[in-house]
């Protein structure tokens, strides 16, 4: 099981992580908003925050999955090792 840390859990985050971890990767996962639980967990970890907590795999939380409703966004495409990416941080 992979423990996923987010400062808050939204329906958009639930949808995206369910799609990636359960449907595509077919692995069990659990969300936590408790930093102590996340830091103390000895199994595989993943964080979706604006700052990496430790040595876990992480994705920078740009804020898109915390929004409510539909908004227009300027999306600039940049490259990381010749791979196109959005929201390059």
Report domain extents, the chain.
Answer: 2-86
pLDDT digits over 27-42, tens only?
Answer: 999 999 999 999 999 9
Instruction: Report pTM.
Output: 0.81
Element at 77 (helix H, strand E): strand 77-80
Element at 2 (helix H, strand E): strand 2-5
pLDDT digits over 20-78, tens only?
Answer: 999 999 999 999 999 999 999 999 999 999 999 999 999 989 888 888 888 888 888 98
């Amino acid at each position: 099981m992979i423990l996923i840390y987010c400062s808050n859990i939204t329906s958009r985050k639930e949808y995206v992580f369910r799609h990636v971890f359960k449907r595509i990767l077919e692995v069990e996962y659990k969300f936590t908003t408790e930093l102590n639980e996340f830091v103390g967990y000895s199994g595989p970890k993943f964080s979706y925050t604006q700052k990496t907590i430790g040595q876990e795999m992480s994705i920078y939380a740009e804020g898109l999955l915390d929004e409510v409703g539909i908004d227009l966004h300027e999306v600039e495409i940049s490259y990381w090792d010749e791979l196109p990416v959005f929201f390059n941080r």
